[in-house]
């Protein structure tokens, strides 16, 4: 395993050096090729992708489904190559590549020292989105991330994520940090589209099937009276991205389960508009909901979920 990690790290280091010297158009072209290689070298992951797309879009033709699958892999490759160019980028370059709109209400809360929760998904270039959002808000974002098993590669990724002041917070040690950040009126960001703990988290509907989803964003929003803002990075024809920030409606009587279903629904809507930009490669739907109904009013387990 150590030898494999070493080879992978050297490969990423070489690709990063190339990407740092390439043009945006060259990165996109290379990313598409790498994405297609990824599609064919891992038949197990490709099978999961095909199954997910077919189940989510049963009414679409086989050709349309194949285009979604191919586009999703190409997007993964593009995101990878673009992310590896971050060491050579300055702030203006990031803001040129990722156009953020709708940020003023969030900036207003930040200026007043009020807490904010940002929610997105593995959609478009989520790494550029985090960097550009922090710059657009003029305030660091604490991003909850899943650490890579390759320690050297994990350090390299986090160095890029933190280049302009954001803070990468490991999912496994996030609880105290994110609670303190919200108490201090800071900004927390989640990619809330991964498979959660089936025995503990709510099971909202997602493309017609129930799937466990982390309740932490909803629980924290209700506990700290912090609005949830969502945004997704949509790649434009010229290769740049546009992300519009919108507030998720939350009422005083909402439960964590209801808020979770709401932000899952806006993710589903974004995917329906641009299905090739989401990462379909994960086993997002698996298992069965527990027989005991989830208590959507539970607020006491933030430390366990974050």
- Rounded to an integer, the average pLDDT of 120-132 is 98
Map out the domains of the chain as residue ranges.
91-305
Neighbour-count burial of 15, counting CB atoms closer than 10 A to its CB (0-12 exposed, 13-18 middle, 19+ buried): middle
Q: What is d(CA 120, CA 199) in angstroms, rounded to the nearest whole number? A: 23
Q: Helix, strand or coil for residue 155? A: helix
68-114 pLDDT, tens per residue? 999 999 999 999 999 999 999 999 999 999 999 999 999 999 999 99
pLDDT of residue 292: 52
Q: How much is the mean pLDDT over the chain?
A: 93
Span 241-259, mean pLDDT? 97
Please report which helix (H) or strand (E) contains residue 61, including its range.
none
Is the pLDDT higher at 299 or at 226?
226
**Which band of pLDDT confidence, cut at 50, 70 and 90, is reported for residue 246?**
very high
Other Cβ atoms closer than 10 A to 118: 26
Lowest mean pLDDT among 29-38, 195-204, 295-304: 295-304
Does residue 299 carry a pLDDT above 60? no
19, pLDDT greater than 60: yes
Report pTM. 0.92
Percent of the residues in the chain that have a pLDDT greater than 90, as a whole number: 86
Average pLDDT of the segment spanning 14-36: 98
pLDDT greater than 50 at residue 303: no
Residues linked to residue 241 through DSSP beta bridges, in sequence order: 98, 235
- Which of the residue ranges 22-26, 54-58, 156-160, 194-198 would you say has the lowest mean pLDDT? 194-198
The radius of gyration of the chain from alpha carbons, rounded to an integer in Å, stands at 19
pLDDT in tens, 34-49: 999 999 999 999 999 9
Q: pLDDT tens for residues 207-230?
A: 999 999 999 999 999 999 999 999
Q: Say if residues 82 and 96 touch (Cβ distance below 8 Å).
A: no
How confident is the model over 133-150, as pLDDT tens digits?
999 999 999 999 999 889
pLDDT tier for residue 3 given thresholds of 50, 70 and 90: confident
Report residue 290's pLDDT band, with 50, 70 and 90 as the boundaries.
Answer: confident
Domain 91-305, CATH:
3.40.1130
Distance CA 18, CA 264 (A): 37
Model pLDDT, residue 240: 98
Q: For residue 287, what pLDDT band results from cuts at 50, 70 and 90?
A: confident
């Amino acid at each position: 395993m150590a030898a494999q990690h070493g080879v992978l790290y050297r490969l990423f280091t070489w690709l990063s050096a190339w990407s740092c010297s390439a043009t945006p158009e060259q990165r996109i072209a290379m990313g598409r090729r790498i994405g297609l290689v990824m599609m064919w070298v891992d038949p197990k992951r490709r099978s999961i992708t095909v199954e997910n797309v077919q189940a989510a879009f049963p009414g679409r033709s086989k050709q349309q489904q194949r285009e979604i699958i191919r586009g999703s892999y190409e997007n993964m490759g593009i995101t990878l190559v673009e992310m590896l160019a971050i060491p050579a980028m300055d702030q203006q370059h990031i803001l040129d590549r990722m156009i953020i709109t709708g940020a003023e209400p969030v900036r207003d809360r930040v200026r007043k020292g009020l807490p904010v929760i940002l929610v997105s998904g593995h959609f478009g270039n989520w790494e550029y989105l985090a960097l550009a959002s922090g710059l657009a808000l003029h305030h660091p974002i604490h991003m909850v991330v899943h650490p890579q098993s390759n320690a050297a590669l994990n350090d390299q990724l986090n160095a890029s994520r933190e280049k302009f002041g954001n803070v990468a917070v490991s999912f496994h040690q996030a609880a105290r940090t994110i609670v303190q950040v919200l108490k201090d009126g800071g900004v927390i960001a989640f990619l809330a589209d991964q498979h959660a703990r089936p025995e503990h988290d709510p099971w909202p509907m997602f493309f017609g099937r129930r799937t466990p989803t982390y309740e932490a964003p909803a629980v924290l929003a209700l506990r700290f009276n912090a609005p949830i803002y969502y945004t997704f990075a949509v790649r434009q024809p010229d290769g740049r991205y546009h992300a519009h920030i919108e507030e998720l409606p939350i009422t005083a009587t909402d439960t964590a389960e209801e808020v979770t279903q709401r932000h899952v629904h806006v993710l589903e809507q974004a995917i329906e508009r641009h299905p090739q930009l989401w990462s379909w490669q994960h086993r997002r739907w698996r298992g069965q909901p527990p027989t005991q109904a989830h208590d959507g009013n539970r607020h006491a387990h933030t430390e366990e979920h974050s």
